[in-house]
Structure 1
Amino acid sequence: MSSEMAILLKQTVTRLFGDLVTEKVLSDAENGVWPEDLWAALEENGLTQPLIPEERAGVGATWRDTYVIVRAAGYFSAPVPLPETTAAGWLLSQAGIDVPEGPIGLCRATDGVVLNEEGKLTGKLHRVPWGRRINHVVFSVADRIVMASTESCRLDHGANVAGEPRDDLTFEDQSVETAVGSLPDAAEHCGALIRSAQIAGAAEKALEEALAYANDRVQFGRPIAKFQAIQQSLAVMASETAAAGCAAELAFQAADKGDAGFEIAAAKIRNGEAGDLVAATAHQVLGAIGFTREHHLNYATRRIWSWRAEFGSASRWALKLGRATIERGSENLWSDLTVR
C-alpha cells in the first residue's frame, strides 16, 4: 500500500469499524439484527462503492487501494456485505450495468441456474451471502454477468459457521439485467479475491489475540509467551499471517492489470491453508477461553473457517490452477512463476 488514496481509505475504514463494530453489534448480528448505523456510515463515507469511477458517483479507487477496505472488514469481523457490494459494483460497472443503491449480493451460480434466450432467469442460487439483506444479487452464467432483483424470489434462510446469513434464493422465469463479462466465472473470481483479503485480515486479528493472551497469561511464574513451544507457535502464526497478506495484496494489484486468474487462485489456495493453521494454533494458545462467546477470537476464527470454503475451496482452486498450467504448457511454467 503506497497511494494516498489507500492511506485515506485505510484511516477512514479503520476508524469507522473501530467505533461501530462493537461486541454488541457482533452479537446482535448473529441474532439477526442488521447494523443500520454501520452500513449508513459506510455509505456516507463512500466505502461501499470505491471501485466505481468518480464520473459515475463513485470514489475512483483501484483494486490495490480497495484491498485495505476488504482486509479491514475481515480484521474487524464486520457483519455487513461490504466486500460483496464492492466487488459486485465493480462487475456491474465493467459490464455497463447501472449499479443500484444499497447492499448488493455476490455469489456463484450452479449448473441448475438457467438464463434463457429471452433473458429470463430460472433456478436456485445456493447460500447467497446476506441474501435476506440485499435487494439485488450479482453472479455469472457462462460468460455473462447477471443482476437479479431479490424482491420476488423465494427466500430460504441459512447461515455459515460464523452466524452470517447464507440464504437460498429461488427464481422462476424472472427478468434480469445481463451483459457480457470480462471473463468466464467473473463473479467467482471476484468472490475468491475478496475472501482471500478477508481471511488475511481475520488471521491478523487471531494472531493479535494469541499474542496478547500469551503475554498476559502467567504459568509457572512467567508469561506463557516466554516458553519456547509457545514462541514457536506464535512465530509460525506470524509467518503464515504475513504470507496470507502478501498473497491477497498481490492478487488485488494484479486485478488492476486485467487477467488476475493466476494470482486469485494462488491467493485463495495460500490463504485457505494459512487460515487453517492460524485459527487452529490460536485456539491451541488460548485454550478453552477462545471458544467462549465472550472472547473475540472466535469471531475471527469462525469466519476464517467459513470464508475458506466460499467461492471455491483451496482444492477447487488448486485444480483450476493445475489445469490452467497444463494448458499453458511446460515452456511457460517458469515465466508464469517468476515474471508475475
Structure 2
Amino acid sequence: MFTEAFEALLRDHCTPAAVRVIESGGAHALLWDVITDSGFLELMASEDAGGAGQDLAVALPILRLLGAHAMPLPVGQAIALRTLLPAGETVPKGMPTFAPALTRGADGSLQAPRVPFGALADHVVGELDGELLLLDAAEAQRRSLGIHHDATADLTWNAAVARRAGRVLSGAAPAGSLAAWGAALHAALLAGALARSFELALQYGNDRVQFGKPIGKFQAIQHQLAVMAEHVAAAQMAAAGAFSAGRTIPASLPAAVAKARGSEAVTVVAPIAHAVHGAIGVTDEYDLQLFTRRLHGWRMAHGSEAYWHRVIGEQLLADSEPVSRFIRMI
C-alpha cells in the first residue's frame, strides 16, 4: 500500500522534466512540499510522534523508488532522520541531509566535506566525538564540487558560527548509527537507479533496429545485458540485507556490505548502459544520463566500495567468529 501510493506520487511529481528543472537551479519547493504534505517523511517516525512507525523492511522499497525516479532532493535523509532523533525532539523544518564526516579544526571551526545535497539542504546532521550535531546549513560557507548538475558540496562553519549554528542532539541514536544509515540509504538509492538504468538499456535494445533486427537480438548485446542483470540483482539483494524487519536503524556490517556491493555494481552497469545506447545515452534530452550521473554520485557518497571494503574487513577481523557471523548476516 505504501509503495504503490508513493510510486504514484513520484510518477506524477518527480518527472524527468521536474528533475531537470531542479538540477538547473530552478525552484525545488513545489516537489518538497508535495512530498512533505503526503506524510511519507513520517514513514519511520514513531506513532507517539505522529508517524507510521514502520521498520526498515517497509522503508526499503520506498527508498529504492527515490533512486528509480532520480530524486533530486534529500527525501531519503529526511525519512531516516526520524529514526535518529531523540524522543520528544522536534523535526527541523526544511530539508535535512547527512554529513559523511564532521571534523573540528584547531580554531573551533567545523568542516563537513562532500555532503550529499549540501548545496540545497537547510540542515546538516553529523556525528562528532560520538554525538550527533544538528547544524544550520544556511550559516555555512558552501563550496560546490563543480560536478555537472550535482548538489554535493563542502560545508564549513567558522568558529563563531559553529557555536551558534549547531547543537548536540542529546539522547539521540547510538554512535555509528548515522554512518550505518548513510551507507544503507545510498545502497537503496543505488539499487533503484541501477534497476532503472537496466530497464532503459533493455528497452532500447528491443527498440533499436540495426541490420534488420533489434540490437538486443545480437549475442554481444545479450551478453552485456546479462552482465548488467547479474550486478543489478546482486546490488538489490545486498541492499535487502541491510533493511531487516523489526529494526529502524541498519546494523553496521550489513549496511557496509550493501553499500560496497552497490557501489561495485555502478562501475559495471553504468558503462554497459551507455555502451548499449551509444551516443544518445549521454545527451541531456535522453533520460539515461539522469540515472547514471546519480549512480556515480551515490557510489562516492558516504564512501565508495574501497572505503567500505576496509570497514568490512576490519569488523570481521575483530570478530572472534568472523565467518560464522558473516554467514548469519547474509
TM-score, normalised on structure 2?
0.91
Per the alignment, residue 64 of structure 1 pairs with 57
| 8 Å CA contact retained: 2:127, 2:133 | yes
Distance 1:168 1:89 in 2: 24
Per the alignment, residue 216 of structure 1 pairs with 207
Amino acid at match of 2:23: E
User: By how many angstroms is 1:127 displaced?
Assistant: 2.8
User: By how many angstroms is 1:224 displaced?
Assistant: 0.7
Among 99, 103, 110, which residue is 2:91 paired with?
99
| 8 Å CA contact retained: 1:141, 1:185 | no
- CA change 1:288–1:302 in 2 (3 A) is same
Distance 1:132 1:174 in 2: 21
User: By how many angstroms is 1:254 displaced?
Assistant: 6.6
Among 123, 128, 132, which residue is 1:141 paired with?
128
Distance 2:260 2:197 in 1: 19
Distance 1:297 1:46 in 2: 30
Per the alignment, residue 4 of structure 1 pairs with none
User: By how many angstroms is 1:159 displaced?
Assistant: 4.8
- CA change 1:200–1:281 in 2 (3 A) is same
Q: Is residue 24 from structure 1 mapped to residue 17 from structure 2 by the alignment?
A: yes
Note the 1:186-335 alignment, pairs <5 A: 186-253=177-244, 256=247, 260-329=251-320, 332-335=321-324
| 8 Å CA contact retained: 1:52, 1:58 | yes
Distance 2:82 2:252 in 1: 19
Q: Which runs of 5 or more structure 1 residues have no equivalent in the other structure?
A: 1-7
Aligned to 1:127, what secondary structure does the other structure show?
A: strand
* Larger displacement relative to structure 2 (21-30 or 205-214): 21-30
Distance 1:188 1:281 in 2: 30
User: By how many angstroms is 1:187 displaced?
Assistant: 1.7
Aligned to 1:247, what secondary structure does the other structure show?
A: helix
Distance 1:11 1:126 in 2: 36
Report the count of equivalent residues: 324
* Larger displacement relative to structure 2 (230-239 or 156-165): 156-165
- RMSD, aligned CA: 2.2
Distance 1:247 1:239 in 2: 12
Amino acid at match of 1:138: V
Q: Is residue 126 from structure 1 mapped to residue 119 from structure 2 by the alignment?
A: no
User: By how many angstroms is 1:27 displaced?
Assistant: 1.5
Distance 1:186 1:143 in 2: 10
Per the alignment, residue 170 of structure 1 pairs with 156
Per the alignment, residue 140 of structure 2 pairs with 154
Identity over the aligned pairs, expressed in percent?
31
Offset from partner CA, 1:21-80 (integer Å, 9 cap, x none):
223212211211133222112111111231111220222111111111111110000111
* Larger displacement relative to structure 2 (248-257 or 224-233): 248-257
Per the alignment, residue 85 of structure 1 pairs with 78
Distance 1:47 1:259 in 2: 19
Per the alignment, residue 5 of structure 1 pairs with none
Aligned to 1:308, what secondary structure does the other structure show?
A: helix
| 8 Å CA contact retained: 1:254, 1:260 | no
Offset from partner CA, 1:189-208 (integer Å, 9 cap, x none):
21111100000000011001
Amino acid at match of 1:328: D
User: By how many angstroms is 1:306 displaced?
Assistant: 0.8
Aligned to 1:269, what secondary structure does the other structure show?
A: helix
User: By how many angstroms is 1:102 displaced?
Assistant: 2.5
Distance 1:89 1:127 in 2: 22
| 8 Å CA contact retained: 2:224, 2:272 | yes
Aligned to 2:150, what secondary structure does the other structure show?
A: coil
Per the alignment, residue 176 of structure 2 pairs with 185
| 8 Å CA contact retained: 2:116, 2:301 | no
Among 68, 92, 98, which residue is 1:75 paired with?
68
Distance 1:76 1:223 in 2: 27
TM-score, normalised on structure 1?
0.89
Distance 1:255 1:32 in 2: 39
| 8 Å CA contact retained: 1:143, 1:180 | no
Offset from partner CA, 1:124-183 (integer Å, 9 cap, x none):
2223222343332111112111112234x2332415746231233222242413325544
Among 323, 327, 330, which residue is 1:338 paired with?
327
Among 46, 49, 53, which residue is 1:53 paired with?
46
